[in-house]
Amino acid sequence: MGTRRTQQGFTIVEIVVTLAVLALVLFATMPSIAAWLANTQLRSVADSLQNGLQTARSEAVRRNQTMSFWLVQTDDPGVLGNECSLSSSSGSWVVSVNSPIAHCADAPSTDSSPMLVTGQAMGNGRPITVAAVQSNATAATNVTFDGFGRVTGTGSISRINVSGTGTRDLRIEISGAGAIRLCDPAVSDDNDPRKCTP
């Protein structure tokens, strides 16, 4: 009596069908993956800006002295270098007591101007647009907080709009009292906490 051998493994037809189904699933999800990545990059920039603003405010309260958040532009968007200048359209930022122009890469210090606390470069390869404005919608590059955490001085940033191609826009709002919040300009429902102020 002969023994019968059973065949194990996959046939070529099964492999081809499996690959075809996998390719269809990937093809169908590619646009949503690209949109998700773009929105993640945009959210990352908005979160970084919000964190910088909160750092400036908390340092002002902690030290009981004025502290400023500055938007800065550098030659290389991935690195905070000392060739920096102020810019209302940059996602890179510095927190310091005095203007950080040409000192963005200085070590943190409590006595050497610009008395830098921290900073962060926006990073390379991010097609994100940043626009910081005053309450009258003109461009602004910084906001200063006093020892009580309130916004002080004139010409301060009151809004930072963050947008990108194929993404939802976000906005950071800074009130005169120093409250900092991230909101979504596309939300129109008055009961939704994500709604921006008009």
**What CA–CA distances, in Å, run from 29 to 25, 38, 72, 108?**
6, 14, 37, 45
25 vs 174, residue with greater confidence: 174
Residues near 162 by Cβ (< 8 Å), separated by ≥ 6? 42, 45, 46, 49, 91, 128, 129, 130, 169, 170, 171, 172
| Residues facing residue 68 across a β-bridge | 96, 144
Is the model's pLDDT at 81 over the cut of 80? Answer: yes
CA distance 50 to 182: 7
Percent pLDDT > 90 in the chain is 65
pLDDT tens digits for 113-161?
999 999 999 887 668 899 999 999 999 999 999 999 999 988 999 999 9
Helix, strand and coil in the chain, % to nearest 5? 25, 25, 50
Percent pLDDT > 70 in the chain is 94
Angle at 187 between CA 175 and CA 38, to 5 degrees: 95
Is the model's pLDDT at 2 over the cut of 60? Answer: no
pLDDT tens digits for 103-115?
999 999 999 999 9
